[in-house]
Chain A
Amino acid sequence: MNLESLYMGLRLKSPLVASASPLSDKLDNIKRMEDAGAGAVVLYSLFEEQIRREREALHYYLLHGTESYAEALTYFPEPVTYHASPDQYLELIRKAREAVDIPIIASLNGTTLGGWTRFAQNMAQAGAHALELNVYYIPTDPYLSGAAVEQTYLDILAAVKGVVDIPIAMKLSPYFSNMAYMARRLDETGANALVLFNRFYQPDINIETLEVTPNVVLSTSADLRLPLTWIGILYGRVRASLALTSGVHTGEDAVKAILAGASAVCMTSALLRNGIEYIRTVESGLRAWMEKHEYESVQQMRGAVSQMHAEDPSAFERVQYMRAISEYKPTV
């Protein structure tokens, strides 16, 4: 049985990819991911904004109160070098490259064009096999048009493509007026892969303290549906590889993702919840299904139930939605 998958030009031994999460900030964990059967590892996201703020904060607080009072002109020793987060990140890329054989995909979350290109270059130089650009952008300006937002994505991609040669994956949110149009434009601009979809952090409200609180909610299999739909629709219509992320928790979920057309099946919540070795469990489920249904390779499966190849292509569209609603029978 051949699990190999070609994802944005990278030959993966398995389509199961350990997606960006805090788990990948330790080299040991990356090794465990490889041992558990991951086809590739996407490192945790490097947040440009966070780096900038961290540096500014460090600079500010290390200087705070200095040169004011004769006995305490400073409060800290001055280190000659700061290994600011990017240095550590680049070091991690280098070490991971040495430690494992599977591709290492660096993940970058930027806020300025300059930041995107600078860190992308650094990551490529450090040896990343590919880059995942996580355009985590929530426009809140009521005067900013959708077209302008879309153009931002394209500009970032073009800028990064202009300075690095390694493959670039765009991790996207589903919130575009026309996802297919956006996918085509990114494809044309040179994206080597589209990663669908980013799960936006949505803060919660603490009703006791009346505070907005950060609250990361892990995905469930139910979250698979949205990316599954769009992978299915886009498969065969874009040159870029497709990766499905959000909601892959079982072998069956992985099967669905591949059938819809995904070259890479990314997992985060499942590993955070069940541990890194859980990749093995999902792989077993995938294998079991393939065996039962007599598939020889992942290649054979991919896109088998995409819109292009589904028996009923309209199942992915509005027609099917109306049917689903009309056939729904409440149980109470």
Chain B
Amino acid sequence: MTEYITLDGNEAVAKIAYKLSEVIAIYPITPSSPMGEWADEWASLEEPNLWGVVPQVVEMQSEGGAAGAIHGALQAGALATTFTASQGLLLMIPNMYKIAGELTPTVFHIASRAIAAQALSIFGDHQDVMAVRQTGWAMLSSNSVQEAHDMALIAHAATLKARIPFLHFFDGFRTSHEVQKIALISEDVMRAMVNEELIAAHRARALSPDHPVIRGTAQNPDTYFQARETVNPFYAACPQIVQETMDQFAALTGRQYKLYEYYGALDADRVIVIMGSGAETVHETIDYLNARGEKLGVLKVRLFRPFAVELFTAALPKTVRAIAVLDRTKEAGSAGEPLYLDVVNALYEAWEGALPRVVGGRYGLSSKEFTPAMVKAVYENLAQPKPKNHFTVGILDDVSHTSLDFDPEFSVEPETTVRALFYGLGADGTVGANKNSIKIIGENTDNYAQGYFVYDSKKSGSMTISHLRFGKSPIRSTYLVTKANFVACHQPNFLERYDILRDAVEGGTFLLNTPYGPEEVWDRLPRRVQEQIIAKRLKFYVIDAYKVAAENGMKGRINTVMQVCFFAIAGVLPRDEAIAQIKHAIEKTYGKKGEEIVQMNLRAVDSTLERLYEVRVPERVTSTIELLPPLVGNPPEFVRKVLGEMTARRGDLLPVGVFPVDGTYPTGTTKYEKRNLALEIPVWEPDICIQCGKCAMVCPHAVIRIKAYQPELLASAPPTFKATDAKDAEWRGMKYTIQVSPEDCTGCGICVDVCPAKSKSAANLRAINMRPQPPLRESERANWEFFLSLPEVDRSLIKVTSIRQQQAQQPLFEFSGACSGCGETPYIKLATQLFGDRMIVANATGCSSIYGGNMPTTPWTTNAEGYGPAWSNSLFEDNAEFGFGIRVAIDQHVAYARYLLSQLSSELGDLAREILEADQRDEAGIYAQRERVKTLKARLQTLDRPEARRLLPVADYLVKKTVWLIGGDGWAYDIGFGGLDHVLSSGRNVKVLVLDTEVYSNTGGQASKATPRSAVAKFAAGGKPTAKKDLGMIAMSYGNIYVARVAMGGRDEQTLRAFIEAEAYDGPALIIAYSHCIAHGINMMTAMRNQKAAVDSGQWLLYRYNPERAAHGENPLQLDSRAPKLPVKTYLQMENRFKMLELSKPEVARALFEEAQRDVNTRYALYEYLASRPVTVGNGSH
């Protein structure tokens, strides 16, 4: 009997790949990472493959490494697979040619994704797979979760027979992350599909000293060509093999697939040719339109390579007059997109009779919506006498006018399908609850169920939108819900910001989580919401979910509460049955986490029903509350019109013409957002404050600022503005203020935790304390604006080595979208305070490139003079080289500018000499040079010499620039290590900041070589058995690299010193910064204590290695950590990433914890020895 389960595309594919593989090489990349995570998890649980053995699941340092490892495993006769997407797939290309050239059977599973061009995108399209279509791999496309599950098996079976490697791809997010109810393939079916003799044949071809051969030879002009042509018969045979495999699969499961599957009217006049999830939407739309008299068809391309011209052509109805080929990719400058060109060619070669008209179009890039309305527009275009070719659909192209118009109101969704939208706050459990609801409905009723989830680009305070469908027929709607008969808003303040009821249908249901009861809620709603409730005759329910959750000990997780409400009022299941199922699901989901968790949730279920109220809707709109503007503070026009629309979630409506052509955007835009995330904000107590500056230093979002200023400036201060006498001796006579930006704070509370000053009469009152934000919002907003109007402290007068003074420097990195309490951002902010006005940043892909550069707004900003960091992200793997290139270019500009300046010395006199000889080692020197260059530029305007005209564009380089290469440990320790090593060894003046969170944080916490021993991480589900790589030691081995290991929470003054020394060092510098992370499973508010414990236990060693000291006869290595005084275990037990291992594998944990202690002891002894060695100058040793 067929077993049905609800899961997402990644899991559906991983289930097959895992069972049919012996070697699995993995590396994280969105959206394919979960496939690797499943594989690692199953292996750690010793789940066997189809042949009874646990596959080897190995994490590599990059996708290039994974492809190499797979190539090797295949050459050694193993069944091997990997999972990847996007840039990862590009890194595999060289090996893919080899694997195909050697006719080696394997399957790579691809959650296909956009390629970074003018910008990175993690979302789905076919740009990645289209970039490898020339490698000689078979390419098999899946259109849905069920197909991805099925086609994975078909690919694994067919590759063995065909000997051609297979790329199995499905749409990133739309399929990889869509949750669907599918029929599960049994192991018996897998066994029947995979031919053991073919496996034996694959093994017989393996490299073995028992029957040695050589492969991978070099060939010459005499033979390479002919040898390259030998494989043709295999490609010719491949399509038939795949079809036979599909037929065999159909015989076993009843699910029949075709290489080129036609659906629609047998006498269709218009046909769309398409691959991937969009085919489902076309299929659904055809049903609707053909039922209304149209003659339409769709040809779903499953086998894209080898492209079987005859079979493709034969699959089209002979009646077709016009064909639209839809490509989910973009090839700028080509004659057409790849599928289009293939179709044109196929018809040209094999169509008999008059050729139908063929047009090509692009759709769905980066998961752009592809809806029935767009499908209809494509068919309508085909009906035109001269249909538009090379069109786009889904956007408004007002530049090249490629886009087709479509009617956004057109819908084909059957009334019998329940369509629900849930707006949740990232951390509240909404998505989890909805996934759970889908499982309940999918697995306990005969309904089909679908769930798709849209997430925010910010990591803190983010909004999630769940799109759910349930119905009696299979659900082919691969687009978002826009006609919702149930809308739930789990976060009351969303109503003020977004048009939440826009997609509700007339007569639908609206559920709101609100602190206000059924009698009071109406008056609290914005006018627009009231209007929609009345106009659409919505049934309106309220629940105070936060209260119910809190009463049951669930700390802001309202998942269970809201799920109960949904089932209670949506009517998908009878209420009692639904409640019983929820309770059953709670026991199943939380059982292993302990009885307490189960009981907590069960209690919440019962108390929810008593607190859910229907609201009697008044007949009249009474509210005067308007929707808040997306951006505030008078932003420039571009920011307001473009970034503002994106912020308001209306980016889909922006036309092509408003966008920069080259991906260039202004900085300093987060300040317009005012996200008001914090429920509580820090409030300063000037009388208690010792003005140490620590609160400002640790603030991850740069919302705590310090200024010292002349007392008379207070004359125009708002009434509640706080000020006190500056305590610093050098600031005597000045006033001092610590001001919080109330609307940018995320409420993490780290500032309070690190504040060392306590009230003399009540120890629980510090110099900074968290207080509820709403009552303070207005007054503090005015105070913040006044504070910004105060002049910055003169940079040249600030003693930068003193935190209390240094923290008055203006941060040029503010209000990022990083997690609340982020451990990385304080370091970046510190660098911008110190050097931001002359800084260029090369940022490796990862968390820092996302919170630094994810649209719509950026935290990188400028000072009052307009100076500030210039920032760019190239790739993940090449950041060191990218930054290096920037450095080299700047050095060249400097050399050229100096040369030109010297050429002009007779005209410029002393000015030229002063500029050329300037000492720019401190702020005063840099300021003076800036002034000189200003004068120079003015003078150059007046000089009529070619040198002057050439000097003008490069004159600014005469002011010292600092190049920072910023990235995480995944970059520095793993994928980018080769490049980093090379760049550091070059001796060039680059500053490398490694934000070491000890995992791949951005992709969800996969282990890197920086992950410490015994930590549980994805890809190290059984606890990392090996020690952390000592990157600092490797760098120190060169002798000419400044190296520092810092932890702000361990010793902040050492961190500050390291940054200053690293920048001052005239050569390469590496700062490895301990960055606590949400992926550590810790309380982020007290995370600086974790940093301190890491340092006190010796787990994180602080040191600075300054080659300049050697020149003075001193030991270059200064050990800044004292001998470990805290047992490592005490530190490890503070973090759930380690504690998890104690709970899941206690014996392993005990052994690894002991080894971790030995690591610490050994390392400390080694560093202590190195730091205490006498140094001899002159013979090269130090």
Contact = CB atoms under 8 A, between A and B. Distances in A.
Interface of A: 51-52, 55-85, 88, 91, 118, 210-211
Contact of A71 (B458, B1004, B1083): B1004
Contact of B1143 (A67, A78, A82): A82
B41 A64 contact: no
Given A65-B427, A69-B426, A76-B1005, A81 B1144 contact: yes
Given A62-B1140, A80-B45, 7 more contacts: A55-B594, A62-B1136, A71-B31, A71-B1002, A73-B455, A75-B1081, A79-B1016
A65 B597 contact: no
Interface string B413-452: 0000000000000110111100000000000000000000
Chain A to chain B: the 3 pairs with minimum beta-carbon distance, closest first: A68-B426, A72-B1004, A67-B431
Contacts of A57: 1136
Nearest to A82: B1143
28 contacts: A52-B594, A55-B593, A56-B553, A56-B596, A58-B593, A58-B1139, A58-B1140, A59-B594, A61-B1081, A62-B1136, A65-B1078, A68-B427, A68-B455, A68-B456, A68-B464, A70-B455, A72-B1001, A72-B1079, A75-B1005, A75-B1079, A75-B1081, A76-B1005, A77-B40, A79-B592, A81-B1144, A83-B1145, A84-B1143, A210-B758
Nearest to A57: B1136
B1146 interface: yes
Interface string B1135-1159: 0110110011110000000000000
B555 interface: yes
B956 to A, nearest CB: 37
Contacts of A91: 1146
A70 B1146 CA distance: 32
Contacts of A80: 45, 592
B763 A211 contact: yes
B429 A70 contact: no
A247 B1089 CA distance: 36
B1078 A64 contact: yes
A82 B431 contact: no
Contacts of B1137: 76
A86 to B, nearest CB: 9
Interface string B959-1001: 0000000000000000000000000000000000000000001
Contacts of B600: 56
B430 A67 contact: yes
A119 B306 CA distance: 64
Contacts of B819: 65
B1021 interface: yes
B1017 interface: yes
Given A52-B596, A59-B593, A64 B1004 contact: no
B575 interface: no
B1144 A79 contact: yes
Contacts of A81: 592, 1144
A106 to B, nearest CB: 18
B1002 A72 contact: yes
Given A55-B596, A77-B1016, A63 B1003 contact: no
A247 to B, nearest CB: 28
B1018 interface: yes
B557 interface: yes
B611 interface: no
User: Most B CB atoms within 10 A — which of A77, A83, A210?
Assistant: A77
B1083 A61 contact: yes
Interface in B736-777: 758, 763
A191 to B, nearest CB: 27
A83 B1146 contact: yes
A210 B763 contact: yes
Nearest to A92: B1146
Interface string B1041-1069: 00000000000000000000000000000
A42 to B, nearest CB: 21
User: Most B CB atoms within 10 A — which of A64, A65, A66, A85?
Assistant: A65
Contacts of B1018: 75-77
Contacts of B1136: 57-58, 61-62, 76
User: Most A CB atoms within 10 A — which of B30, B593, B1139?
Assistant: B593
B920 interface: no
Nearest to A65: B1078
Contacts of B597: 55-56, 59
A88 B1081 contact: no
User: Most A CB atoms within 10 A — which of B44, B464, B1136?
Assistant: B1136
Contact of A60 (B45, B173, B453, B555): B555
B459 interface: yes
B122 interface: yes
B37 interface: yes
A73 B593 contact: no
B183 interface: no
B1082 interface: yes
A84 B591 CA distance: 12
Contacts of A88: 1146
Contacts of A118: 595
B1004 A63 contact: no
Contact of B1082 (A61, A72, A79): A61
